[in-house]
Structure 1
């Protein structure tokens, strides 16, 4: 929780700095809550949390810094499980503007695509060790504008871990699968609902990002 608060404070500081330097640009803070679906062994955890800062360079492209947290526990054995945290830097594309969604479905609906690289940590509950992981993330974010400064968001993201050592139950893969303690490719899926708050200039139907 302390790390989350520290990250949120940093993002707020960045937003204030951006407003001072680029008052006419679009930037926002976003947060969401939902579920994570792990790879092997598969389990669903309704404890996914994410927070991020996004800066749109123009009407089509932007960048995003975000943090995500998930808690996985095996239903038949709660002593098995893992705590997963990720930090990522992503590019963002305004698909809504590219596909002209506003013309077809109304100006209060938009769609963003995002993807990038990150660092993740997976802590084993039973072993106590922490796995340091490189990851790739891609996702889609539908947006529903409530006002000029506030939007409800849905997000669906897929994360690929390409240097994972623990399974999501907190145990190493069996040596019989020819993986042993070597790194392997893991994956998980997250789905969340949240809010995005925009800072900067007054936004109209024509320039909402």
Structure 2
């Protein structure tokens, strides 16, 4: 089952067709606004109570974002996201739902690095920012609230003027997380600063 989920996650991360703004690529100007609909898998890395660990990958997560490009190279985007964590075959059972909202800066590395001098097919974006997040574990009475930082890289293969294949990898670092992702234990006070980490792989659909 784990191998099947990994295969599904890999395919989702690199092979989703997208309608998207032309600002990612060279030539013909660019559109300033786009809406992004993302879906994929994730891996909460830490912290966990002994005896608990998350599936690799943990299905699933979904994001909805709006991106605005100031020019062909730089922009900003706002995103809201939902994640679901669950234990693997060797873990005690748990289910956690995680929500986030963030604001990020976006840089079109393809334009910055002059990809147009050798390809009109490939694109590359980097995004960096932070925001607010919270999670709740099934059967637990509390909701844990924290801030977070994000950094991600999105690769693109252009199929036509409006359609590309994309894959995104994003890492989240939680700030002042009070509980473990399984919800069973408190995080030690001296580990609350930047103790929580999540990675995600997803396909990205963008609509003009």
Which TM-score band (shorter chain)? 0.7 to 0.9
Q: Kindly provide the CA deviation profile for residues 38-63 of structure 1, in whole angstroms up to 9, marking residues without a partner as x.
A: 02234231211112111100011000
Compared with structure 1, are the counterparts of its residues 180 and 79 closer, same or farther at alpha carbon in structure 2 (3 Å cutoff)?
Answer: farther
Quote the Cα distance in structure 1 between the aligned partners of 2:125 and 2:181: 29
Map of 2:40 onto structure 1: 34
- Does structure 2 retain, via aligned residues, the 8 Å contact 1:79–1:126? no
Superposition CA RMSD, Å: 2.4
Quote the Cα distance in structure 1 between the aligned partners of 2:123 and 2:180: 36
1:100-139 paired onto structure 2 within 5 Å: 100-104=114-118, 106-139=119-152
1:146 aligned residue (159, 163, 168): 159
- The unaligned stretches of length 5 or more in structure 1 are 1-23, 199-209
- The unaligned stretches of length 5 or more in structure 2 are 1-29
1:192 aligned residue (192, 202, 207): 202
TM, length-normalised to structure 1: 0.74
- Does structure 2 retain, via aligned residues, the 8 Å contact 1:151–1:197? no
Once the two structures are TM-superposed, the CA of residue 180 in structure 1 deviates from its matched residue by 5.8
Pairs aligned (count): 172
1:1-209 paired onto structure 2 within 5 Å: 25-40=31-46, 41=48, 42-43=53-54, 44-75=57-88, 76=90, 79-104=93-118, 106-173=119-186, 179=188, 183-184=192-193, 185-198=195-208
TM, length-normalised to structure 2: 0.74
Once the two structures are TM-superposed, the CA of residue 149 in structure 1 deviates from its matched residue by 2.6
Compared with structure 1, are the counterparts of its residues 78 and 102 closer, same or farther at alpha carbon in structure 2 (3 Å cutoff)?
Answer: farther
Once the two structures are TM-superposed, the CA of residue 84 in structure 1 deviates from its matched residue by 0.8
